[in-house]
Amino acid sequence: MNFIKNLLLGDNPHKLFHKLEKEHASRIWRLAVSRGLPKEAAEDVCQEIWLGFHQHLQQKSHEKPQLLLYAIARNKIKDYYRKHYEEKSRVEPLDQDAVSPLSELTPNALISFYQLLEAAHIQEDTRTYMELRFVSGMTFPEIADAFKVPQTTVRDHVNRAITAMNKVYSRGRKQ
């Protein structure tokens, strides 16, 4: 796999960056806007995301650059909200078939969503799938296509994460 990737892209991180930028720029923008960021803030955050991604690619090679990109995006958007909102609020248990994305909630509820993800010790790739599913409102086929994985993989990761998060949420309510 790495041989083929290196053959196609070379060891040049600039080529990889431009390839991923072309494939994911609109998705990253959609992610930022779906989180309720004002357009000006979304533009700034997107620039920070791409800058951070470029810097990471310069430093070392990554096995899954798409996951790195979305992890950076998630963290930059979280940083924006941390700077602009300090009050915390509650998030209700999640249902995989939720119709509306969590982006319709307040920014404080989004922060709580991420705190719940952390408290449940959800792995990085699964966090990305959860964010794209529930915050951006992407479908399972869209997420699977973005990461070039089977739909069942995405669905299984999301289901396991929902179960873990609901356990953490239930424990918190009992205390």
- Whether residue 62 contacts residue 56, with contact meaning beta carbons closer than 8 Å, is answered with yes
Residues 122-139: tens digit of each pLDDT = 888 888 888 888 877 888
DSSP-based three-state secondary structure for 149: coil
Given this model, what pLDDT does residue 156 score?
A: 92
Domain residue spans of the chain: 1-73, 85-175
Residues 48-86: tens digit of each pLDDT = 988 888 888 778 777 788 888 888 888 888 888 777 764
- The pTM of this model reads 0.51
Q: Do domains 1-73 and 85-175 have the same CATH topology?
A: no
Confidence of residue 147 (pLDDT cuts 50, 70, 90): confident
85-175, CATH topology level: Arc Repressor Mutant, subunit A (1.10.10)
Given this model, what pLDDT does residue 155 score?
A: 92
> Does domain 1-73 correspond to CATH entry 1.10.1740?
yes
